[in-house]
Structure 1
Amino acid sequence: MPQSGILVTQEPAPQSVQVCDLPPKVYEIERNTGPYSSSGLATAGFRTAKYLTEEWYQNNYTRYHEAFADRDHSERNRHESKQLAAETEALSQRTQQDSTKKVGERLQDIHFWKSELQREIEDLETETDLLIGLKLRLERALDATEVPFSIATDNLQCRERRQPPDLVRDVVEMELLKETELIRNIQELLKRTLMQTVNQIRLNRDHKEICEMDWSDKVETYNIDEMCARYNNQSTNIQFHPHSSKFEDSVSTPETWAKFSHDTIYRAEREKMASVNLRLLINNILNDTAEDLRLQCDNVNLAFAKRCDEMEDAKHKLQYHLNKTLREISDQENNIASLKQAIKDKETPLKVAQTRLYQRAQRPNVDLCRDAAQFRLTSEVEELNMSIQALKQKLLESEQALRNLEDTRMTLEKEISIKANSLFIDREKCMAHRSRYPTTLRLAGYQ
């Protein structure tokens, strides 16, 4: 059925591409009826929806306007960015210069208190050294008595390791007991004198340590601030620390910071003056005991020398008998070796005789005869067995004699070892140890 015209509504453009804000337009599409048009079933139901030429121009103008607006906004943004970058660069440079100046001023304050603390540490150390010089004599004297005491006690302990019958309570032991008692009394006297000096030196060192800790903090702070003052925009070891601008709860103020160092220096001065008054109390008792200690040392050495001579003589006599026993042991060992070889030498003839008897037992029939050869082989086996038994018996006797000699040798060697042990203890351990006995000057605290 033919139609004169169809009303078609234009579909809206996609949201991503907005052409223009025009109202939808109704177009009248005529049926193709011209001379060059087609008709018939092929075109039945055909419809179109195209833009108008005005809409095409309008869409292009819209794109031109959008491009111009974007470029203009971008140019304004670039101009503002350059201006803001220049302003912030100048501000950051001024701020950094001012911070560097403040850090430099802080470095001067730290250097002042660091110098004051260092001077006080040096003064306190000098005063303490003077007190230590006198205390050192007391300590040296006390330490010097430790050496004789350790020598005497070590001598007594070493001599306890002597073996019976050399474990005797002789003159040497009695002199050593006298020496230990004398040294113990001297040590008690020196310790009482040393106690007050040690307490004052401890106080001096405590306050010196407090000053050193404060000085160490100042040095570390100075190094940190000096490093911070050297930082600039070209430094390679800088990085972000987002939370570094927060103040800690325990931070101090410049006033409390300066007062802390002032109070530390004041207390150090007070202890320094106290140590001056103490250096006059230590000079009188250091030379009183050295002579007695050296005299007792000489008495002990003389007793040791006499005892060593007695043990050396007994050791030589035991060694004489041991040498003879060793020679006899060597001869007996050779004898035993000869007996064993003789027994071994009999084994081969015995094998020959027994093999002959065994083979002759294989003779057939009437040839299995008790002839003279058979009797001689039998007697040979018996003689060889008797010889071996006699040699073995003699071997047993020789081995028993060797064991007796070995027992005697062990007894002699044990006695010699006991004497050698006693000599080693008295001469190599005790007397050698006593060679390190302190001199009179060292016992008086001068060395």
Structure 2
Amino acid sequence: MDPSKTCPNICPTSDRREDVKIYKEAGQSRGGELAHAAPYVPGKIKPPEPRVYPPGAPPRYLPQPTDSTSGDILGMGPIGPWAAGHLDWTPQAGTTGVRPVVDKYSITRYSTGEWRKNNEYTLTPRATDKARALESQTKQDIQNAFTNLDNKLNDSDKKLGKRVKDLAYWKKAVEKTLDAITEEIDTLDKDRAKLKGACKILMMPEAISRECLELRTFRYEPDLVRDEAEQELVKEVAIVGEIRRVFLNTLAKVEEQMLRNKAAKSSIEFDWSDKMASLKVDRKNVSLSPDSNLLQWHPGVARWPENATTLEYWQHYCAESVRNCEEVRQMSVDLRGDLMTSIKNGSQDMKIQADRTNAALAETVAATEEMCAKLEENLKENLQKIADIENLINFLKESLRKVDERNKCVMTRLFARNYERSNVENCRDEAQYALMAEAKFIRETSESLQDKMRQAQTVRSELMKYRGELEKDIACKRKSLNIDQDRCRRVRAHMPTPEEFAAG
């Protein structure tokens, strides 16, 4: 093997012997480095010596000049709280020089000097200078910020005050227009009320005429005739219809104008309401300050609303709203000029037609009363005959009851003789023949009386039928009299006069 190609530390080429390192066993002394690590000798334990700190030394919990971070100061003797041995191959060997010593009580990792250095690090105020600088800068920034905030607040207050003045001006203009259109609506409503009153008054004669016609349809069949009164009532309804057509045409125009007036008023009221709400909001905003007790958080309000308009459009809208309302009001004033003329048309013709109808009804009533009196006279005679026949029927019923009693008597005798006599005693003697003859005569008499009863009942039925016919005819005439004389006359007493039409 070539000696130049070998490592002398691995493959030595000579027999040179080097010093062999000898390691101490656990618990052995390291040769004077730790004198107190000698084996225990009885009586050699010394009393405690007080620690003396140099003058001006820091507190005992802070690092001292005599502190050391080496673990060699720790005694590794055969007694004490330490385990035997001293090894330095652990990861902590470069920091403390000792391995963590473990016994059954504790684990030791740091020295007293390290504990004091950690206390010094903990008590050092590292952020104090930074805090002082931050405090000074922050106070200056806050002062500048509040100065700017006060300027912005004053500017906002001035702009809000100007806006309140503009809103107050337009609110007053809108209120003036609103009062004018409201007064016009009230005036037109009064005139419309007159026209509606005329229509209602017109409804009365029409309702009277139609009610009279309808009432006359309730007459019974013999009196359902198209007499002169009927024709006059039909003509009266036709005249009312023509007058209504004129009234309704005028009323339609008034209603259309009223809708325009109300629409204009509603629009101007909405505008007034919006201005009042905006004025209230801005006045409230003007009165608010950072010291007010009505302040709240409203996240997300610092943005333009989607329905926000421009200032130019707002001014244009205010002027147009007032102008449109004034135009509608002028149209309403022009329409009210022709309203009263329509109300007075046709009232005199209706009065004349009502007089003609009343005269025809009076003539019909007189003829019906005469017929009704004659029918009542015939009814009295018929009732008397019915009473006589009913008395005869009652007498026949009493006679039949007496005949039935005699029939029961003879039947009882015959039953006893036929079934209670025995043997040869049950014979046809003269008494038996007499009882049989009596029973036959009673039966014939009963049949004769029953035939008379039937005849009397037939006559009574005919009289009752005739009575019904008379009563029906009398009821028919009284119904007609009640309709024509009482109900129609009472209804027609409310027929309006031309003066009532003119008054509306």
Given the two structures, how large is their TM-score scaled by the length of structure 2? 0.59
Equivalent position of 2:445 in the other structure: 387
Q: 2:197 aligned with 1:140, yes or no? A: yes
**Alpha-carbon contact 1:114-1:218 (below 8 Å) kept:** yes
Per-residue Cα deviation, 1:265-310 (whole angstroms, up to 9, x for no partner): 3311111122223333344454453222212211211221121111
After TM superposition, the structure 1 = structure 2 runs for residues 394-409 of structure 1, keeping only pairs within 5 Å, are: 394-409=452-467
Q: Which amino acid aligns with 1:270?
A: E
User: Which position in structure 1 is the counterpart of 2:490?
Assistant: 432
Q: 1:121 to 1:405 in 2, by over 3 A?
A: farther
- Rounded to whole Å, the distance in 1 between the matches of 2:430 and 2:256 is 115
Tell me the SS of whatever aligns to 1:438: coil
1:170 counterpart = 2:192: no
Matched, 1:302 2:330: no
Stretch deviating more after TM superposition (239-248 or 187-196): 239-248
Q: Distance in 2 between matches of 1:442 and 1:118?
A: 38
1:315 aligns with 2:372: yes
Preserved contact between residue 140 and residue 442 of structure 1 (Cα < 8 Å): no
**1:131 aligned residue (175, 188, 195):** 188
Work out the number of aligned pairs and report it. Answer: 397
Matches within 5 A, 1:79-94: none
Per-residue deviation, residues 72-126 of structure 1 (Å, max 9, x unmatched): xxxxxxxxxxxxxxxxxxxxxx9xxxx9xx9999999888766655543332121
The residue matched to 2:221 in structure 1 has which SS?
coil
Question: 2:323 maps to which residue?
Answer: 266
Distance 1:220 1:170, change over 3 A: farther
Structure 2 residue identity aligned to 1:152:
S
1:140-176 per-position Cα deviation (integer Å, ceiling 9, x unaligned): 3344333223322332343344333322232222322
How far off its partner does 1:224 sit?
9.9
1:308/1:423 contact within 8 Å kept: yes
Question: Which residue of structure 2 aligns with residue 73 of structure 1?
Answer: none
CA distance in 1, matches of 2:483, 2:445: 55
**Contact 1:360-1:368 at 8 Å conserved across structures:** no
Give the AA of the match of 1:327: Q
1:413 is the counterpart of 2:471: yes
2:433 pairs, out of 362, 375, 382, with 375
Per the alignment, do residues 200 and 400 of structure 1 end up closer, same or farther by CA in structure 2, a change over 3 Å counting?
same
Q: Distance in 1 between matches of 2:453 and 2:284?
A: 96
After TM superposition, give the deviation of residue 315 of structure 1 in Å. Answer: 0.8
Tell me if the contact between 1:361 and 1:368 (Cα under 8 Å) persists in the aligned partners: no
Amino acid at match of 2:441: E
Structure 1 vs Structure 2 CA RMSD: 5.4
Distance (whole Å) between structure 2 residues aligned to residue 233 and residue 172 of structure 1: 85
- The counterpart of 1:336, out of the listed 393, 407, 431, is 393
The equivalent of 2:209 in structure 1 is 152
SS class of match (1:280): helix
- Distance of aligned partners of 1:376 and 1:217 in 2 relative to their CA distance in 1, 3 Å threshold: farther
**Rg larger for:** 2
201-210 or 416-425, which moves further after superposition?
201-210
Q: Does 1:354 align with 2:354?
A: no
Deviations 1:36-57 (A, max 9, x none): xxxxxxxxxxxx96658999xx
**Structure 2: which 5+ runs fail to align?**
1-83, 85-98, 111-149, 151-155
Which stretches in structure 1 are left out of the alignment for 5+ residues? 1-6, 8-24, 29-47, 56-93
Q: Structure 1: how far apart are the matches of 2:178 and 2:390?
A: 82
**One-letter amino acid of the counterpart of residue 372, structure 1:** E
CA displacement 1:121-146 (0-9 Å, x = unmatched): 33212123333444444443344333
Distance 1:344 1:248, change over 3 A: farther
CA distance in 2, matches of 1:368, 1:213: 126
| Higher RCO (CA < 8 A, seq sep 6+) | 1
The alignment-based identity, stated in percent, is 28
What is the TM-score with the length of structure 1 in the denominator? 0.66
In the alignment, is the contact (CA less than 8 A) between 1:329 and 1:405 conserved in 2? yes
1:200 aligns with 2:257: yes
1:98-117 counterparts in 2 under 5 A?
Answer: 117=174
Residue 112 and residue 333 in structure 1: after superposition, are their counterparts in 2 closer, same or farther (change >3 A)? farther
